[in-house]
Amino acid sequence: MSDTRRLARAVNIADLRRLAHRRLPRVVFDYIDGGADGEVTLADSTRSWDQVLFRPRQAVRLGGVDTRTTVLGSDLEAPILLAPIGYTRLFHPDTEVGVARAARATGVGYVLTSFAGSRVEDVAAAAGPLWYQLYLAGGRAVVESTLARVWQSGCRVLAVTIDTNAPGMRERDVRNGSAALVGPGFLNKIPFLPQLLGHPRWLAGFLGDRPDVMLYPNIVVPGSGPARATDVRTMLADSVVDWSDLGWIRAAWPGAIVMKGVLSADDARRALDEGCAGVIVSNHGGRQLDTCLPTVRALPPIVRAVGHQMPVLVDGGIRRGADIAKALCMGAKAVLVGRAYAYAFAGAGQAGVARAVEILRTDLDRTLRLLGCPSVRELDGSYLEV
């Protein structure tokens, strides 16, 4: 069966994961699929959504259901934003521009990472609602220059990531030696040859795109040019965000700022006090600190603390439309999905992303009907067993 037929026949995100597994060399698949340390949080992130139970309202006649919402000025056909993911040019040659086109076609938002392999101007030209995820890579002067470009491109929401005080220990990547795949030189890639040659379509795309795969054109260091992928760990170590940075970031950014990586009510209240427009409850997809809270458990106290004053979004482990509905019942305004579209993008590029969103939107529509709820805006805690 061709990958096109597998894509068309995919009925859930697990099917898209299997498609990515077929298409990618192990070293690349494990980068998408893996988490930090023992991957306890990675597993908990999905399992914890399954443990939240619905209380549907039966014998309800619905003429239709409405999944539309608006978050910080972004009009969405469903309460979904595609989460920021680095190294996507390593997955498929359609690049972040393809992700943006798929998001626009399906009516959802896209959050572009600082570590994108495509220029923000090119992504914005293809996108619908586009947010930008900020790391302080390159230092203040570089960040301020980048923010001017991002604003000029049309982005109006900035997601400042605060959970990367140090790079997470992603053991699969270390065992696979994945840094050598994106680093310079040919000899250190010889150990990868058997798995690369076993995936000729991926290899052709990688080799054709290789000069740009290794560069981050939105982080331009004066005198050095675009940052290189091999510099990421050092850049992350040198770009830790603290609350004092919000002052100069606000001065450089005219739009809304949300803090991404919040797991405590105290940090959410601090973000509100510092003038942020929202928070994203996130444990970085289980890729940073292992054995920390799954986001489904972190979400309720944060909603209680600030949800009446700012939108709260959540990511981590969301694989089904039912998970989206549960998040909204618990007070989230929208969700971010990462692996759910990363698998699809790796397996089938832009078409795969569109299929992933279609699956999630169809799931959400069906879940609303089975709950007896006419709109995502009417979901609340009464639909859950607590």
- What mean pLDDT comes out for the span 69-92? 95
Q: 106 - beta bridge partners?
A: none
Quote the pLDDT of residue 210. 60
* Residues, the chain: 386
Least confident segment among 101-115, 172-186, 281-295: 172-186
Distant-in-sequence, close-in-space partners of 2: CB < 8 Å, separation ≥ 6: none
* DSSP output for 246-275: HHHHHHH--SEEEEEEE-SHHHHHHHHHTT
pLDDT in tens, 123-170: 999 999 999 999 998 889 999 999 999 999 999 999 999 998 888 899
In percent, the amount of the chain with pLDDT more than 90 equals 79
Nearest to 313 by CA among 286, 283, 281: 281
Distant-in-sequence, close-in-space partners of 13: CB < 8 Å, separation ≥ 6: 319, 320, 339, 340, 343, 344, 356, 359, 360
Least confident segment among 236-240, 277-281, 312-316: 236-240
Quote the pLDDT of residue 213. 60
Quote the pLDDT of residue 1. 66
**Higher-confidence position of 105 and 177:** 105
pLDDT in tens, 221-266: 888 888 887 777 777 777 789 999 999 999 999 999 999 999 999 9
Quote the pLDDT of residue 376. 98
pLDDT > 90? residue 373: yes
pLDDT in tens, 176-226: 988 888 777 777 778 888 998 999 999 888 887 665 567 899 999 888 888
Query: What's the CA gap between 325 and 376, in Å, rounded?
Result: 7
**pLDDT, averaged across the chain:** 93
Give the active site residues. Answer: 284
Q: Which helix (H) or strand (E) holds 131?
A: strand 130-134
Q: Does domain 3-385 have CATH number 3.20.20.70?
A: yes
Whole-angstrom Cα Rg for the chain:
20
pLDDT in tens, 331-364: 999 999 999 999 999 999 999 999 999 999 999 9
Quote the pLDDT of residue 77. 98
pLDDT in tens, 14-71: 999 999 999 999 999 999 999 999 999 999 999 999 999 999 999 998 989 999 999 9
Quote the pLDDT of residue 191. 87
In percent, the amount of the chain with pLDDT more than 70 equals 98
Q: What is the pTM of this model?
A: 0.96
Query: What's the CA gap between 120 and 117, in Å, rounded?
Result: 9
